[in-house]
Structure 1
Amino acid sequence: MLSILDRYILKKYLGTFSLLLLLFIPIGITVHLAEKIDKILENEVPFMEVMIYLYNFTIYFANLLFPLFLFLSVIWFTSKLANNTEVIAFLSSGVSYYRFLRPYIIGATIVCAAALVFSMYLAPKASKGFNEFAFEYLNKGKKDRDQSNVYTQINDKDYIYVSYFNVTEKVGSNFTLEHFEGNKMTYKISAGQIKFNEKDSTYSLFHYNKRKIGENGDILENKPKLDTVFSFDLEDLTPVTYIAETLNFTELNDFIKKEKARGSSYINRYEVVRYKRWSLPVSAYILTIIAVAVSSVKRRGGMGVNLAIGISIGMVFIFFDKIFGTMAEQSDFSPFIATWFPNFVFGILAIYLLRNAKR
């Protein structure tokens, strides 16, 4: 059973966090809309599509920054408790500091569970709508989705390459397909241009060449144009870098497994997305403990000092998260270490601050 103290602090915890979301999300929407309104009007985007986009942006924005909102909300209401000497009254009544911390941990568990479900299943759908709207209307489409130097392993035997692929026209340049049996290439198909035909899901190869490699000599086949089918999908020629963000938990695991088998160059980027879905909810616990340790002490400068300290710590956390995430995406740095290292560092900081606050 929850005591009066538990219910009182838990109500403050969840209420302040919800209030902060309700205050900051409209501000985020207003700023974002003000920045994009010219392109929305220029492209004559239907009103309902704009509303759906803003809904998706709200979920995307809340999921991205919820640890910071949670951190600031805990600092805010705990500082008020400290300034009103309520914390001193709690501890003077015989309640230990760890007992005082219990409702915060309960609140963090509730937020952590909600954030986990949110990031695994709801945020991916919103991210898909958010990115697709941006590419279609805000970036004037599609050019940003064009791909250069795409090299992909389709299966254990086939590799494809295209020097450039235009998403709008579904046309690529300098296409090759290499087929291997063991470590030996058995044939190679090349074409000056490849075009995807949506009507029947076939491909047209222009300036088609095929070389079959044999022990007694190669067999060459040339045609001005060849219509054929391949075992790969159009998406293999147009790998979208944000696709991992749009997949739910099960889909993402299957997708990463498939891409690893293909030897995709974007594996680290996809791994970062997967690990962040676990690491960000866990950060709710760490940031809650830091926030309580920082703000439960009554300071001479009042709430302003606690907020300044809290905002500084929050900014450093976001900085660590972004820097290490980018390192993993752009290099061979371990995605697991990159996503969990900020939690590890700030977990140590939380233990240190908690011991000092207890004294």
Structure 2
Amino acid sequence: MFKALFSKLTIIDKYILKRYLATFFIMLLLFIPIGITLDVSEKINRILENNVPFINVAEYYLDFIIYFANLLFPIFLFLSIIWFTSKLANNTEIVAILSSGISFQRFLRPYIVGATIVSLLALLMGFFLVPKASEGFKTFRYTYLTGGGKEEMRKTNDVFRQISDSEFIYASNLNIENNTAYNFVLEKFDKEKLIYKITASSIEYNEKQKNYTLMNYTKRTVGELDDKLESEMSKSMKFNFEIEDLTPVVYIAETLMPNELDKFIEKERKRGSSNINTYLVVKYRKYTIPISAFILTIIAVAVSSMKRRGGMGINLAIGIGVAFSYVFLDKIFGTMAEKSDFSPFIAVWIPNIVFGILAYYLLKNAKR
């Protein structure tokens, strides 16, 4: 496909495409060291206080590069296109190209090819590289840099899970260090009818025996005429859930491949997880970010292809404003979906829809 596509490109197309890709990757290479420098200056005290091994720090900043390149992808792409297209306009190269009889739509072809390459790269990164980088990046921050450390990695208060089609568990608080949950409740239903209910003041997971010890154990079995009640000070039992299921890592969705993420979401949906919208936002963003490459490319070309009296500075100012507006809108609606009943699918697509309309409007005016 790419071979056939490249064979149709003219010398001018290849010239623009080369500038498109080169400027984008140079922009990444310029800004990433700046980001690392700022992060090091902010985190160095915590790293030294915790005596973090150098190899762990090196791995963290490798993950940092991938994580933030993906996160700030729209800004890097937009600014790079604004930069080199403004230079073409200031050197009157665009006027010469359009004066030769090439339509504005035909002028966009190498930009669209470049956007296709970059979007495929972003898609592959989002599917395969970013999940692993997210896991290393977030784990390092929670382990060595965050105030609450590992305890903040998990939701440990008022944990409610559906562990099967008919069983529900609840724990008011969980201590991760000793794998102990408090005020434990397990309820089993037959449709809407309660079959039995198990309660315990605490439940501890035994790593060697692969079972749980319940303190102040009570089981109430519901009968037709009378309930059966049994209780023990301490009782060992096996359940069909693991301690990891009871205390999921808060950023687990970001660390999963697409097929793993789908299975995880379905599993959490059956358990009645309250974080489903957060997981869905992560899933849908894997697809919306690559699509944004095309929208932002059209906007950037439309904004910067005209020679302005203020020169490149005006175009860059407009570009920075538009790029940060896109990221801001994406963040606002993403947070809204995570914290409310707002549809995650609609929330993650709104920035692309809004800026897609803007791209169409600017493209129509640019053609004129």
TM-score, length basis structure 2? 0.96
- Matched residue SS, 1:227: strand
- Aligned ranges 1:1-359 → 2 under 5 Å: 1=7, 2-139=9-146, 141-146=149-154, 147-359=156-368
Runs of 4+ in structure 1 off by over 2 angstroms are: none
Q: Contact 1:74 / 1:291 at 8 angstroms: preserved in 2? A: yes
Measured in 2, the distance between the counterparts of 1:200 and 1:25 equals 48
1:174-231 alpha-carbon deviations (Å, 9 max, x no partner): 0100000111010011110111122232111111111111112111111111122110
Higher deviation after alignment, 103-112 or 218-227: 218-227
Measured in 1, the distance between the counterparts of 2:80 and 2:122 equals 16
Q: Contact 1:211 / 1:220 at 8 angstroms: preserved in 2? A: yes
Measured in 2, the distance between the counterparts of 1:226 and 1:169 equals 18
Whichever residue aligns with residue 216 of structure 2, its letter is: H
Whichever residue aligns with residue 344 of structure 1, its letter is: I
Measured in 2, the distance between the counterparts of 1:199 and 1:291 equals 60
Higher deviation after alignment, 183-192 or 224-233: 224-233
Unaligned runs of 5+ in 2: 1-6
Whichever residue aligns with residue 78 of structure 2, its letter is: F
Measured in 2, the distance between the counterparts of 1:94 and 1:35 equals 54
Q: Contact 1:145 / 1:238 at 8 angstroms: preserved in 2? A: no
Whichever residue aligns with residue 16 of structure 2, its letter is: I
Whichever residue aligns with residue 276 of structure 2, its letter is: I
Q: Contact 2:153 / 2:251 at 8 angstroms: preserved in 1? A: no
Aligned residues: 359
Q: Contact 2:173 / 2:182 at 8 angstroms: preserved in 1? A: yes
Deviation at 1:241, TM superposition (A): 2.2
Q: Contact 1:145 / 1:167 at 8 angstroms: preserved in 2? A: no
Calculate the aligned-residue CA RMSD, in Å. Answer: 1.0
Measured in 2, the distance between the counterparts of 1:279 and 1:77 equals 25
- Matched residue SS, 1:209: strand
- Matched residue SS, 1:232: coil
Q: Contact 1:142 / 1:168 at 8 angstroms: preserved in 2? A: no
Q: Contact 2:60 / 2:136 at 8 angstroms: preserved in 1? A: yes
Deviation at 1:144, TM superposition (A): 1.4
Measured in 2, the distance between the counterparts of 1:295 and 1:266 equals 41
Unaligned runs of 5+ in 1: none
1:34-63 alpha-carbon deviations (Å, 9 max, x no partner): 111111111101100110011111111111
Whichever residue aligns with residue 150 of structure 2, its letter is: K
Measured in 2, the distance between the counterparts of 1:58 and 1:97 equals 36
Deviation at 1:304, TM superposition (A): 0.2
TM-score, length basis structure 1? 0.98
Deviation at 1:87, TM superposition (A): 0.4
- Matched residue SS, 1:80: helix
Matched residues, percent identical?
60
- Matched residue SS, 2:72: helix
Deviation at 1:167, TM superposition (A): 1.5
Q: Contact 2:79 / 2:316 at 8 angstroms: preserved in 1? A: yes
Measured in 1, the distance between the counterparts of 2:74 and 2:213 equals 50
Deviation at 1:248, TM superposition (A): 0.6
Measured in 1, the distance between the counterparts of 2:43 and 2:205 equals 33
Q: Contact 2:74 / 2:327 at 8 angstroms: preserved in 1? A: no
Whichever residue aligns with residue 95 of structure 1, its letter is: I
- Matched residue SS, 1:301: coil
